[in-house]
Chain A
Amino acid sequence: MEKKTWLSRAIGLSMCASVKYSARGPALIPRMKTKHRIYYIALFSVVLLGLIATGMFQFWPHSIESTADWSVERRSVHDSPLVHLPASSPIPERGDLSCRMHTCFDVYRCGYNPKNRIKVYIYPLRRYVDELGAPISSTGLSREYNELLSAISDSEFYTDDVSRACLFIPSIDVLNQNSLRIRETAQALAQLHRALLAGGGFSTWTYRQGYDVSIPVYSPLSAEVELPKKQPGPRPYFVLSSQTAVHMEYRAELEALKAENGEAVLILDKCTNLSEGVSPTRKRCYKGQVYDYPQTLQESTFCVVLRGARLGQAVLSDVLQAGCVPVIIADSYILPFSEVLDWKRASVVVPEDKLSEMYSILKSIPQRQVEEMQRQAHWFWEAYFSSMKAIALATLQIINDRIYPYAARSYEQWNDPSVVKWSRVNSPLFLPLIPPRSPGFTAVVLTYDRVESLFRVITEISKVPSLSKLLVVWNNQNKSPPEESLWPKITVPLKVVRTTENKLSNRFFPYDEIETEAVLAIDDDIIMLTSDELQFGYEVWREFPDRLVGYPGRLHLWDHEMSKWKYESEWTNEVSMVLTGAAFYHKYFNYLYTYKMPGDIKNWVDAHMNCEDIAMNFLVANITGKAPIKVTPRKKFKCPECTAIDGLSLDQTHMVERSECINKFASVFGMMPLKVVEHRADPVLYKDDFPEKLKSFPNIGSL
């Protein structure tokens, strides 16, 4: 009994089955004779449940053992063991429509694991025959089901250890209900009444949301036909209907649309007089004119996907492959992988009774959106429809996401095509927040041995009202910081951190001592910034907490002659960087700089003892997609008398090196993330004709 509970969750995959039931089943049940009803129930259980395992275990208790070697030597389906189903073996009960993950899925078997990945076991293949020796399925193992199981067995989900698995997949092929003998298949799958089902044609009434997985109906054409890649854009036809088994009522409505809108609408049907040897699946006709299928789908912007006898239609796959936007006309159909895929970005859903309005509905969609949808449709096909492998892995990933929801793939991971993933920016500080003034900021002063200048800087900064703490990063290992009594007396806490190595990146380390969100990075020679300027900088940072807010601005330029980037520190009308010799930023970027800097940039900076500020600008611009904010007018920031000693910034070789940094970083990032702007932030009343003493920040820009 215990075995039964833990084995009774497996996953069944059926592509063509469930629909038939939902299409006409329930309506008929009450009127049926009891005998038929049994069949129906049997069918239902297969359909809905697909499969499972307990049964097999009962029939062949030694199956684990027998798997051991035959897989190695015998690679033909015909060598798999034969199993006779006695006519009296039990038929499963109707599937439980109330099943959900928390009721019918044994989560203990999956448990907690560091990789957050489920383990999947596949039952070994058997050939089932009834008492008379007739097989229960006309196809046996189909090519597609074999591909699917092979893909799973090659994936990271697979385990050959039945005791470690939390998901079980039967090897009975129920992809296509038409080739199955329902009663016998049901017997083979007996007692699997809690299987979750991956099916190709769920309706809203048969789909157990959050439990079943709606999968696409695989189109075998995908493997056969390779369509040339086609860019999104206008196409010769506006709407195309390519299905052959369309109900006459719908066909009449489509024809009416064509009559009304002419050439833009193309309604194809099967060809009646094809010559021998031409596959009818590869041709469609309209009034005797023959079109190649599926190539012709690429000639249309929108392609109709109408329900047929079944809700799920293989044509959906063909349409997506052609980058044609599917127009889904199948009420109550649960679109493939709808649990994770955002179909609103790739398709248009039109209610069946609004078919006649389809044309005007489609016309109302802006062209740019149509192009987005074309791109999205093709991407869905590529990622989730193109092969049995893609279908299988997406299905397992969905189940995996449910079991480990906190490690689930995100909406963006599922839905964004790689182009978008590349160009979109998802700032980690995305909430529009203006932090309160009260916590203030922590000033981090990087110093080596310029004690006198350092003390002047400390004294200046300590006058800023919002300063909450001063952190001195003592980067000199050969010399101790001055005695405590020598330091300037200030009202806020002052901490000295001694580093173990003289590295520039020490200034961006996320020290625990930094308790505020806002960090002011400042060099030990920036003594000319006034208290008003610093306070104002902090106020501006509060309005832009996800940006670098700094004083001296710099620019990168494209040097056409040299075909590379160039660093510019002259008086320019534009800004793309602010120097971190004096800049406010969020502590989060310290963390990013220290632990998430791409490539070898961090080491490169430490080795060259230069460009840490450029690296920081790259990092922030790359992750936020935003330009820095330069505050207050240009002025000399260092003491006039210091320039002689510190000629570094003026040095020509220095400039060359900085240019090199930009080129190096751009190549590591794979693009140029810096954004150029033409504005800077000043106090509202800056330079206005207004009494200075009434201004909040009068002392701005004065030398």
Chain B
Amino acid sequence: MQAKKRYLILLSAGVCLSLLFYFGGLQVRATRRNPNRREDHSRNGLHSGPDQTWPHFSDHLQPFMPWDQLENEDYNVHISPKQKRDANASIYKGKRCRMESCFDFSICKKNGFKVYTYPQQKGEKISESYQNILSAIETSRFYTSDPSQACLFVLSLDTLDRDQLSPQYVHSLKTKVQNLHLWNNGRNHLIFNLYSGTWPDYTEDLGFDIGQAMLAKASIGTENFRPHFDVSIPLFSKDHPRTGGDRGYLKFNTIPPFRKYMLVFKGKRYLTGIGSDTRNALYHVHNAEDVVLLTTCKHGKDWQKHKDARCDKDNAEYDKYDYREMLHNATFCLAPRGRRLGSFRFLEALQAACVPVMLSNGWELPFSEVIDWNTAAVIGDERLLLQIPSTVRSIHQDKILALRQQTQFLWEAYFSSVEKIVLTTLEIIQDRIFKHISRNSLLWNSHPGALFALPQYSAYLGDFPFYYADLGIKPSTKFTAVIHAVTPLVSQSQPILKLLVAVSKSQYCAQIVVLWNCDKPLPAKHRWPPTSVPVIVIEGENKIMGSRFQPYDTILTDAVLSLDEDTVLSTTEVDFAFTVWQSFPERIVGYPARSHFWDSNKERWGYTSKWTNDYSMVLTGAAIYHRYYHYLYTNYLPASLKNMVDQLANCEDILMNFLVSAVTKLPPIKVTQKKQYKETMMGQSSRASRWADPDHFAQRQTCMNKFANWFGTMPLIHSQMRLDPVLFKDQVSILRKKYRDIERL
């Protein structure tokens, strides 16, 4: 027995020793390997650099593709490409739907991208959120009420909440949908959904056959997401505003960019079941100092039944902190999945300029097809929860500064209202349908965002006012003057002729377009004074006010100088304004300015033309702006606003200022003008009656409130400064001044 034991010990010791030797030997060999190889390399004069075990084989190797392979690849010549496409279309259905197989492009060809919404059925209950979605479509420029014109169809049946336990759940949707005579098995239909599935598994099934319809769905998982077919939308609450929406909370960039808390979270914890793991583990990372991750077990009636050992402690900690305070004072906000992949925390963090840290494996992030989320969020991995604090701490200050600003840009561009979410969804689909005129990633991910940058205008980014710095280029160095003529030409001393001559003398003037919106026929060519630049006379379409902002093909320069016929301007004033515009090509640069204010007695916006210490509009009767705004005015604004302007023959300048400020989020720029200018405008000229008319003024007030209503917010912003020539009215010889005429009366 003893001997046996001894042998056993001896044997095992021997085994241990030999194992040790074996592995140890390996180690030794491994460490010896490197110097050997290095020597070898230097001897052969081959690669330096890191250690290699991959031998750079010196054999003469064959190419991977023989020269003749391409030639011999006609083996499918007998399959017609058309047949092949049809075959693909017939098998890739359902979960494998793609635009190529489940979408009919041909019906979009004729009328462009038009969206039809089914008429609402009596007795159908529609949630407020879905009502908002429908009205966002119906007030957009994509809307058509004629299904035969439509390229995309949206149901009037509320599909937002497909959780059977929810009071909003619409029953027997399946039959209702099948009975729609335009349904066509869902082809070219878009279905909006926020919640799907229910306890306990929360599947992504909608509970009815969606056929070949596209989904615009929140909390969509990568497994179910059909790339370039579905659209992932953010989860938004029923209080999400229909239009406009609040601005982001970021008011200024602090340096250093750290806030009181590094990383925060406050939310429910589910204890068991799908999606509970991550939130259950958060307490490991919580440090009650700069990483504050709070959970509560309290939800549902019978939470006490399921509670675990940590619940009481967690609940107590949870109540110590105020969510809003944390949100505003945190650098990073955790957005872990809930039962479903997306949560409200995501949009809340985005708006609060708290960089979201995503912990939701497999969530197809909102609008991921176009938004580069790496620039505005930290995409974490649920499996690496414990590394999250060190990961966010390792992010450099400059990066935080950029991430934070980008959250604000994205929030305001695509998320702040239901309308923006819907329009973004539609624009994504439009970009897929008209591939060759779709937006590139830069357009989607930089200010002012894709909803304001219409690719149909131009495929070249340099044609827009927003990307000069991104492209490292400058706007063109000339302008086109567009003079809006409404009175017949009777005398040679009419202001329009003086204006024409003054403008044509500007060194920056490329051409002058006279827009003849007068009922009288065009004057003979010789009636116009001779000028050194081409003068083109066009007759306005329908002679309406809006025609002055038509994107005429004849305008070839980036800058447009928009003028009323009775404007009095000197060449010097024009020259100076244009040099200013070159520094601010995305803004309106003009002379006479106006202001808006909130009239708290009447609870509405007021308009003033009095001399004030600030302004928020410049009149487009004399202003320089980018020609893209002509395109945007004509193609972005809804017919309702444009018609209003045309019918009143008024307010076109206010609308243009609203539009440009909504795009730029900046005020216009007022430059120096000679003092008599305003008096002339208010004085004896043809428009005098119009300006003196009290109705005219009241109209403008009404316009402003109508416009603010459509924009959902007041886009105008005040400025307190005016730009003057550097030596304006300085105590120095006038001969030294470049723009001396501006000072002379």
CB of B447 within 8 A of CB of A361, answer no
Q: B166 an interface residue at 8 Å Cβ cutoff?
A: no
Q: A210 an interface residue at 8 Å Cβ cutoff?
A: yes
Report the separation of the CA atoms of residues A143 and B67 in the bound assembly, to the nearest whole angstrom: 14
Q: B29 an interface residue at 8 Å Cβ cutoff?
A: yes
> Which A residues lie within 8 Å of B408 (CB)?
431
Query: Which residues, 16 to 47 on A, are CB-close (under 8 Å) to B?
Result: 16, 23-24, 26-27
Interface string of B659-688 (1 = CB under 8 A from A): 000001111001100010000000000000
Residue in chain B with minimal CB distance to A589: B255
Residue in chain B with minimal CB distance to A543: B719
> Which B residues lie within 8 Å of A77 (CB)?
57, 59, 61
CB of A142 within 8 A of CB of B64, answer yes
Report the separation of the CA atoms of residues A424 and B471 in the bound assembly, to the nearest whole angstrom: 5
Interchain nearest-CB distance for B101 vs A (Å): 8
CB of B54 within 8 A of CB of A153, answer yes
Report the separation of the CA atoms of residues A122 and B387 in the bound assembly, to the nearest whole angstrom: 28
Report the separation of the CA atoms of residues A352 and B463 in the bound assembly, to the nearest whole angstrom: 29
Report the separation of the CA atoms of residues A281 and B70 in the bound assembly, to the nearest whole angstrom: 9
CB of B611 within 8 A of CB of A688, answer yes
> Which B residues lie within 8 Å of A232 (CB)?
none
Report the separation of the CA atoms of residues A622 and B374 in the bound assembly, to the nearest whole angstrom: 26
CB of B81 within 8 A of CB of A122, answer no
Q: B535 an interface residue at 8 Å Cβ cutoff?
A: no
Interface string of B23-59 (1 = CB under 8 A from A): 0001001100100110010000001011111111111
Comparing A484-492, A613-621, A689-697, the segment that makes contact with chain B is A689-697
Q: B301 an interface residue at 8 Å Cβ cutoff?
A: no
Interchain nearest-CB distance for A515 vs B (Å): 8
> Which B residues lie within 8 Å of A590 (CB)?
255
Q: A625 an interface residue at 8 Å Cβ cutoff?
A: yes
A-B pairs, 4 with minimum CB distance: A423-B472, A153-B54, A369-B460, A142-B64
Q: Quick one: given A78-B59, A307-B81, are A158 and B254 in contact (CB under 8 Å)?
A: no
Comparing A98-106, A457-465, A637-645, A651-659, the segment that makes contact with chain B is A98-106
CB of B583 within 8 A of CB of A627, answer yes
Q: A679 an interface residue at 8 Å Cβ cutoff?
A: yes
CB of A408 within 8 A of CB of B374, answer yes
Q: B524 an interface residue at 8 Å Cβ cutoff?
A: no
Q: Quick one: given A75-B58, A314-B70, A682-B722, are A143 and B63 in contact (CB under 8 Å)?
A: yes
Interface string of B717-745 (1 = CB under 8 A from A): 10111111111111110001111000000
Residue in chain B with minimal CB distance to A438: B251
The 8 Å CB contact of B80, one of A247, A270, A310, A410, is A247
Chain B interface residue count, CB cutoff 8 Å, equals: 142
> Which B residues lie within 8 Å of A361 (CB)?
436
Q: A60 an interface residue at 8 Å Cβ cutoff?
A: no
CB of B375 within 8 A of CB of A410, answer yes
Q: Quick one: given A71-B54, A588-B255, are A365 and B720 in contact (CB under 8 Å)?
A: no
Report the separation of the CA atoms of residues A152 and B52 in the bound assembly, to the nearest whole angstrom: 10
Interface string of A521-550 (1 = CB under 8 A from B): 000000000000000100110010100000
The 8 Å CB contact of B612, one of A65, A369, A680, A684, is A684
CB of A436 within 8 A of CB of B447, answer no
The 8 Å CB contact of B251, one of A160, A178, A436, is A436
> Which B residues lie within 8 Å of A572 (CB)?
726-727
Chain A interface residue count, CB cutoff 8 Å, equals: 160
Q: Quick one: given A139-B62, A571-B727, A678-B579, are A72 and B81 in contact (CB under 8 Å)?
A: no
Residue in chain B with minimal CB distance to A414: B441
Interface string of B124-136 (1 = CB under 8 A from A): 0000000000000
Report the separation of the CA atoms of residues A567 and B682 in the bound assembly, to the nearest whole angstrom: 46
Interface string of B71-85 (1 = CB under 8 A from A): 101111101111011
Report the separation of the CA atoms of residues A431 and B666 in the bound assembly, to the nearest whole angstrom: 11
CB of B64 within 8 A of CB of A176, answer yes
Comparing A188-196, A257-265, A343-351, A660-668, the segment that makes contact with chain B is A343-351
CB of A411 within 8 A of CB of B722, answer no
Q: Quick one: given A430-B405, A433-B250, A439-B252, are A420 and B471 in contact (CB under 8 Å)?
A: yes
> Which B residues lie within 8 Å of A248 (CB)?
77
The 8 Å CB contact of A679, one of B384, B723, B731, is B723
Interface residues of A: mostly helix, strand, loop or mixed? Answer: loop
Q: B260 an interface residue at 8 Å Cβ cutoff?
A: no
CB of A103 within 8 A of CB of B362, answer yes
CB of A634 within 8 A of CB of B375, answer no
CB of B612 within 8 A of CB of A427, answer no
The 8 Å CB contact of B26, one of A65, A100, A433, is A65
| Contacts A125-B55, A244-B71, A331-B100 known; 5 new A-B pairs at CB < 8 A | A108-B383, A432-B664, A627-B583, A680-B725, A687-B729
Q: B398 an interface residue at 8 Å Cβ cutoff?
A: yes
> Which A residues lie within 8 Å of B471 (CB)?
420, 423-424
> Which A residues lie within 8 Å of B398 (CB)?
428
Q: A479 an interface residue at 8 Å Cβ cutoff?
A: no
CB of A678 within 8 A of CB of B726, answer yes
CB of B54 within 8 A of CB of A150, answer yes
Report the separation of the CA atoms of residues A588 and B257 in the bound assembly, to the nearest whole angstrom: 10
Report the separation of the CA atoms of residues A425 and B469 in the bound assembly, to the nearest whole angstrom: 5
Q: B241 an interface residue at 8 Å Cβ cutoff?
A: no
CB of A349 within 8 A of CB of B387, answer no
The 8 Å CB contact of A684, one of B50, B54, B438, B613, is B613
Interface string of B387-400 (1 = CB under 8 A from A): 10011001101110
Interchain nearest-CB distance for B170 vs A (Å): 30
CB of B253 within 8 A of CB of A682, answer no
B positions within 8 Å CB-CB of A: 26, 29-30, 33, 36-37, 40, 47, 49-59, 61-71, 73-77, 79-82, 84-85, 87-88, 91-92, 96, 98, 100, 105, 222-223, 227-228, 250-256, 361-362, 372, 374-375, 378-379, 381-384, 387, 390-391, 394-395, 397-399, 401-402, 405, 408-409, 435-442, 445-447, 458-463, 469-473, 576, 579-580, 583, 593, 611-615, 664-667, 670-671, 675, 717, 719-732, 736-739
> Which A residues lie within 8 Å of B47 (CB)?
154
The 8 Å CB contact of B583, one of A401, A420, A677, is A677
CB of A571 within 8 A of CB of B472, answer no
Residue in chain A with minimal CB distance to B666: A432
Interchain nearest-CB distance for A96 vs B (Å): 11
Interchain nearest-CB distance for B281 vs A (Å): 15
CB of B250 within 8 A of CB of A156, answer no
Q: Which of B30, B36, B70, B382 has the largest count of A CB atoms less than 10 A from its CB?
A: B70
Q: A507 an interface residue at 8 Å Cβ cutoff?
A: no
> Which B residues lie within 8 Å of A72 (CB)?
33, 36-37, 40, 55
Report the separation of the CA atoms of residues A149 and B671 in the bound assembly, to the nearest whole angstrom: 63
Interchain nearest-CB distance for A173 vs B (Å): 7
CB of A26 within 8 A of CB of B91, answer yes
Interchain nearest-CB distance for A308 vs B (Å): 6
Query: Which residues, 265 to 324 on A, are CB-close (under 8 Å) to B?
Result: 270, 279-281, 307-310, 314
Q: A88 an interface residue at 8 Å Cβ cutoff?
A: no
> Which A residues lie within 8 Å of B436 (CB)?
348-350, 361
CB of B362 within 8 A of CB of A102, answer yes
> Which B residues lie within 8 Å of A143 (CB)?
61-64
Interchain nearest-CB distance for B744 vs A (Å): 13
Interchain nearest-CB distance for A247 vs B (Å): 5
> Which B residues lie within 8 Å of A124 (CB)?
53
CB of B81 within 8 A of CB of A250, answer yes
> Which A residues lie within 8 Å of B390 (CB)?
112
> Which B residues lie within 8 Å of A682 (CB)?
721-724, 728
CB of B458 within 8 A of CB of A249, answer no
CB of B74 within 8 A of CB of A309, answer yes
CB of A431 within 8 A of CB of B52, answer no
The 8 Å CB contact of B675, one of A435, A675, A688, is A688
CB of A685 within 8 A of CB of B611, answer yes
Report the separation of the CA atoms of residues A428 and B399 in the bound assembly, to the nearest whole angstrom: 9
The 8 Å CB contact of A112, one of B250, B384, B730, is B384
Residue in chain A with minimal CB distance to B79: A24
> Which A residues lie within 8 Å of B26 (CB)?
65
> Which B residues lie within 8 Å of A694 (CB)?
613
The 8 Å CB contact of A368, one of B53, B58, B70, B462, is B462
